Amino acid sequence: MLKIPKIIHDDIVAHAKSGFPLEVCGILGGTAGEISVIYRMTNTDRSNEHFMMDPKEQFAVIKELRGKGLEMLAIYHSHPETPARPSEEDIRLALTPNVSYVIASLAEPERPVVNSFRISGDKVQPEPIELV
Amino acid sequence: MNLTVNGKGAIVEGKDSLDVNALLVELKVEQPDYVTVELNGDILERENFAQTLVKDGDTVEFLYFMGGGSR
């Protein structure tokens, strides 16, 4: 179970919409499975089908989280035109252990969908999201 | 040697220095080919991992590439 405040959930969707038609990405931080902060990150690929974060930004966010006593709990990205489920590339690049992988889909623009998954190796486990 | 790794103290027994590739092995980092390393605040180029020595007192950060695709 991943707990996400509604304001952060809505911000993920807003980020996805503002970046459309490109994929957007970001990091969610918090403690004990409950998100409390969102960091919009740069998609260095600037692509409709791929994303890659800037390592310099990643290090800065990780250190800031640590300084606040928080952890990186999730990595999110958008699927501008495909469903909210991990692609083969998402699974292959789900390298960071012990985090949730959140995907925001705009495949139906009037009904954005945000889903979360735990990914380990080639195993993908859907994870319920509770809006708080 | 004593290091700070991802914000925590780490002791590498019996070594005064190690190159970055050897350090990742020592730290049992899985899939090191997909790791970005920062040494004392500077992000290292992968091609320099083998020539870059980590020494006592250094601060090391590493994290995995974060990427993916929608298709």
ipTM for the predicted complex comes to: 0.93
**What's B2-64's CATH class?**
alpha beta
Mean pLDDT of chain A: 97
Kindly determine whether residue A59 and residue B70, on different chains, have CB atoms separated by under 8 Å.
no
pTM for the whole structure:
0.95
B4 close to A (CB below 8 A): no
**Tens digit of pLDDT at every position of chain A (132 positions):** 999 999 999 999 999 999 999 999 999 999 999 999 999 999 999 999 999 999 999 999 999 999 999 999 999 999 999 999 999 999 999 999 999 999 999 999 999 999 999 999 999 999 999 999
Query: Nearest Cβ partner of B34 from A81, A95, A101?
Result: A95
Beta-strand pair B53-55/A113-120: unpaired
**pLDDT for B71 beyond 80:** no
B17 close to A (CB below 8 A): no
> Which CATH number goes with the domain that contains A94?
3.40.140.10
- Encode pLDDT of A20-54 as tens digits: 999 999 999 999 999 999 999 999 999 999 999 99
Q: Which residues of B touch A96 (CB under 8 A)?
A: 63-64, 66
Measured CA to CA, the distance from residue A131 to residue A29 in angstroms comes to 15
Q: Which residues of A touch B69 (CB under 8 A)?
A: 23, 47, 49-51, 87, 89-90, 93
Assess contact for A107 and A94: CB atoms under 8 A.
no
B48 close to A (CB below 8 A): no
Task: Give the domain range for residue A81.
Answer: 2-131
Q: Locate the domains of chain B by residue range.
A: 2-64
- Encode pLDDT of B1-12 as tens digits: 999 999 999 999
Structural domain count, chain A = 1
Contacts (Cβ under 8 Å, ≥6 apart) of A89 = A50, B67, B68, B69, B71
Contacts (Cβ under 8 Å, ≥6 apart) of A36 = A5, A8, A29, A30, A70
- Encode pLDDT of B23-39 as tens digits: 999 999 999 999 999 99
